[in-house]
Amino acid sequence: MAITDAATFLKAIRHDYAYFNYIIQGDRVVVEGTSSGTITDGSNWQTGRWCDVFEIRDRRIQRLFIYLDPDYTGADTTRYPWLDPGSK
């Protein structure tokens, strides 16, 4: 998914800063986190998982990779039934 693709289905997004996990090694910084928000159809999601990998040199970001959970909005309840609030 390209970053422009994410913009087509996200209406609002909130990052859960208190639960970020930072890993720093050499010139790399990895940040893992979750977010929640609203999709353009008005439905909400809770635990979109993501990971960003920064490569830093001379105090500047040289490269950035952004990884999103393939089921970012938790809508794939067919393969992951525990995501369906009605199944509990």
Q: What is the pLDDT of residues 43-57, one digit of tens each?
A: 887 778 899 999 999
Q: Residue 39: helix, strand or coil by DSSP?
A: strand
pLDDT recorded at residue 70: 73
**Can you tell me the mean pLDDT for 78-84?**
73
pLDDT recorded at residue 7: 65
- 34, 47 contact by CB (below 8 A): yes
Instruction: Locate the DSSP E strands across the chain.
Output: 10-15, 21-25, 28-39, 44-57, 60-68
Q: What pTM was computed for the model? A: 0.69
Question: Which residue segments constitute the domains of the chain, with CATH numbers given?
Answer: 3-74 (3.10.450.50)
